């Protein structure tokens, strides 16, 4: 009987995000969340909840579940049996591959069209590296990656040591040089040195990049140190930006909700601030995608006095454990993974599994603007037009832990998500330079 070989798949989900300053937006109506966005948003909250329960949970975190969703979808369309059921449950994938691929392609197009000509730099892209010497990959699968996922397929031997540089070069280009060394040459070597067993045969990469100025400007001279309550019985200080503007605001018995638009109107920051100081685990236990969507629909434009911290942080996380605890376990198991629609396998000889999956994310949020943004810093809905009917502003002061989301408003899809419990804790070693 031939010796069974296991071929691991490497998946890397990468993103880079910068947020700055600017002016002008318009409201949207009450709309239900589209099906694909609802699936992505539910996965977003699921993985945030799980990440917050990890041992050594960071004080601050930034993830792009959107990127993870796109990255794993490239494996889901090759899955079968138990692996497929687990991935569908963990990611809220639909049963139909055709529906998933069609909806993802449509969403990618909408995301990128929203950035064109609006001083928003946004890109979402897929790429695939294939080692044909390790397995006979199905052409119908590679065609899906090229056509449905718009992923350029590059062929070659991983043994020549060049693929890590190629992946890092592609990532650096897509992230405008902000993420450069996501993989190492060792990531493409067999798990057992000197053996052909468990030699990587496929690398799937998804990258997201976003940069925009605020549409409603913060005044740099008004950023000051304020008290920040890191927990129910703990406090420190943080630099908080200030503005008073007409913004979409809502609240219920648990949360305050605020939406601050970016230039071009289609992207925005949404923040959920609990009414009381809560540890991040308890905060997330009360936050749901339905709660966020309901507050977003209820929000009305009104005068809001805003205090929001400046922060810079980086999160690099291995996703194998996180996704396993969400129920996606067998895809990472060399003996149980069912990815038979990916390769032409010889009976009892070749099998494919996902060897690793990771994400590298970085965000900087501050009040700085570019020269182009400074030319349009007037607020579209000015205050103080009349001495009559003056109402007190709402106060949205993020002086304790909160959640934040970068949202594509037309699709209501969450692109990035995270939390801040201590703004003074920096991004840590390896942070990209400004």
So what's the pLDDT on residue 203? 85
Q: How is residue 137 annotated by DSSP?
A: B
Least confident of 6-10, 230-234, 314-318, 351-355: 6-10
For tokens 């067993």, what's the residue?
197
For tokens 């920051």, what's the residue?
269
Is 336 inside a domain boundary?
yes
- Given its phi and psi angles, is residue 384 left (phi above 0), alpha (psi -120 to 50 degrees) or beta? left
Least confident of 227-241, 285-299, 367-381: 367-381
Angle formed at CA 401 by CA 395 and CA 407, multiple of 5 degrees? 75
Mean per-residue pLDDT, 221-248: 91
Look at residue 2 and tell me whether its pLDDT is greater than 80: no
So what's the pLDDT on residue 11? 52
CATH of the domain at 85: 3.30.497.10
Taking alpha carbons only, the member of 428, 409, 328, 407 closest to residue 79 is 328
Least confident of 76-90, 218-232, 348-362, 409-423: 348-362
Look at residue 261 and tell me whether its pLDDT is greater than 60: yes
* Residue 45 CA: distances (Å) to CA of 3, 223, 321: 42, 31, 17
Q: Using an 8 Å Cβ cutoff, are 71 and 204 in contact?
A: yes
So what's the pLDDT on residue 426? 63
Is 69 inside a domain boundary?
yes
Report pLDDT digits (tens) over 268-308.
999 999 999 999 999 999 999 999 999 999 999 999 999 99
Q: Using an 8 Å Cβ cutoff, are 110 and 411 in contact?
A: yes
So what's the pLDDT on residue 382? 21
b/e code 119-139 from CB counts within 10 Å (16+ = b): bbebbbbbbbbbbeebbebbe
Is 375 inside a domain boundary?
no
Per-residue tokens: 128? 């695939």
Q: Using an 8 Å Cβ cutoff, are 69 and 43 in contact?
A: yes
Per-residue tokens: 41? 């948003």
Taking alpha carbons only, the member of 61, 50, 122, 130 closest to residue 90 is 50
Is 299 inside a domain boundary?
no
Per-residue tokens: 401? 């832990």
d(Cα 309, Cα 241) in Å, to the nearest integer? 6
For tokens 């996180």, what's the residue?
322
Look at residue 235 and tell me whether its pLDDT is greater than 80: yes
| Portion of the chain with pLDDT greater than 70, in percent | 82
Per-residue tokens: 319? 């996703």
Question: Number of structural domains, the chain?
Answer: 1
**pLDDT mean across residues, the chain:** 81
So what's the pLDDT on residue 18? 44
Domain that holds residue 203: 5-23+59-213+313-364
Is 105 inside a domain boundary?
yes
| Portion of the chain with pLDDT greater than 90, in percent | 47
E strand intervals along 136-266: 151-155, 202-212, 224-231, 234-251, 255-261
Residues constituting the chain: 434
For tokens 């138990």, what's the residue?
82
Is 424 inside a domain boundary?
no
* Residue 314 CA: distances (Å) to CA of 59, 62, 256, 429: 11, 7, 26, 9
- Residue 396: strand, helix, or coil: strand
So what's the pLDDT on residue 73? 95
Confidence band (pLDDT; 50, 70, 90) for 161? confident
Is 85 inside a domain boundary?
yes
User: Between 240 and 22, whose confidence is greater?
Assistant: 240
Report pLDDT digits (tens) over 295-353.
999 999 999 999 999 988 888 888 999 999 999 999 998 889 998 898 876 544 467 88
- Given its phi and psi angles, is residue 290 left (phi above 0), alpha (psi -120 to 50 degrees) or beta? alpha
Is 232 inside a domain boundary?
no
So what's the pLDDT on residue 293? 96
Mean per-residue pLDDT, 88-110: 96
Look at residue 212 and tell me whether its pLDDT is greater than 50: yes
Least confident of 171-180, 364-373, 386-395: 364-373
């Amino acid at each position: 009987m031939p010796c069974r070989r296991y071929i691991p798949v490497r998946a890397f989900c990468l993103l880079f995000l910068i947020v700055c300053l600017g002016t002008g937006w318009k409201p949207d109506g009450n709309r239900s969340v589209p099906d694909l966005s609802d699936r992505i948003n539910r996965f977003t909250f699921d993985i945030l909840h799980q990440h917050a329960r990890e041992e050594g949970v960071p004080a601050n975190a930034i993830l792009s579940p959107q990127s993870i969703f796109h990255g794993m979808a490239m494996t889901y369309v090759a899955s079968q049996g138990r692996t497929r059921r687990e991935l569908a449950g963990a990611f809220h994938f639909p049963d139909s591959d055709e529906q998933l691929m069609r909806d993802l392609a449509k969403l990618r197009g909408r995301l990128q069209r929203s950035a064109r000509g609006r001083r928003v730099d946004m890109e979402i892209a897929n790429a695939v590296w294939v080692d044909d010497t390790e397995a006979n990959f199905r052409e119908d699968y590679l065609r899906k990656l090229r056509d449905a996922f718009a992923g350029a397929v590059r062929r070659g031997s991983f043994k020549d040591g060049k693929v890590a540089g190629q992946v890092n070069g592609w990532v650096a280009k897509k992230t405008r040089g902000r993420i450069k060394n996501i993989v190492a040459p060792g990531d493409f070597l067999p798990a057992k040195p000197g053996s052909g067993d468990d030699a990587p045969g496929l690398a799937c990469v998804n990258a997201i990049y976003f940069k925009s100025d605020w549409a409603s400007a913060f005044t740099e001279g008004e950023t000051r140190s304020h008290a920040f309550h890191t927990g129910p019985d703990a406090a420190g200080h943080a630099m908080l930006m200030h503005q008073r503007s007409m913004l979409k605001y809502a609240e219920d018995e648990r949360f305050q909700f605020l939406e601050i638009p970016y230039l071009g109107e289609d992207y925005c920051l949404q923040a959920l601030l609990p009414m009381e100081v809560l540890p991040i685990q308890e905060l997330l236990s009360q936050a749901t995608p339905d709660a966020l969507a309901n507050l977003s629909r209820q929000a009305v434009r009104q005068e809001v006095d805003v205090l929001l911290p400046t922060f810079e942080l980086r999160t690099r996380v291995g996703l194998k454990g996180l996704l396993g605890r969400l129920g996606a376990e067998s895809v990472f198991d060399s003996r149980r993974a069912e990815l038979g629609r990916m390769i032409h396998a010889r009976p009892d000889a070749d099998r494919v599994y996902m060897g690793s999956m990771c994400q590298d994310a970085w965000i900087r949020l501050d009040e700085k603007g570019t020269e182009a943004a400074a030319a349009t810093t007037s607020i579209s809905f000015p205050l103080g037009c009349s001495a009559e009917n003056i109402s007190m502003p709402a106060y949205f002061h993020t002086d304790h832990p909160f959640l934040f989301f970068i949202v594509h408003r037309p699709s209501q899809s969450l692109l990035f998500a995270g939390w801040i419990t201590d703004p003074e804790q920096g991004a840590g070693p390896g942070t990209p330079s400004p």
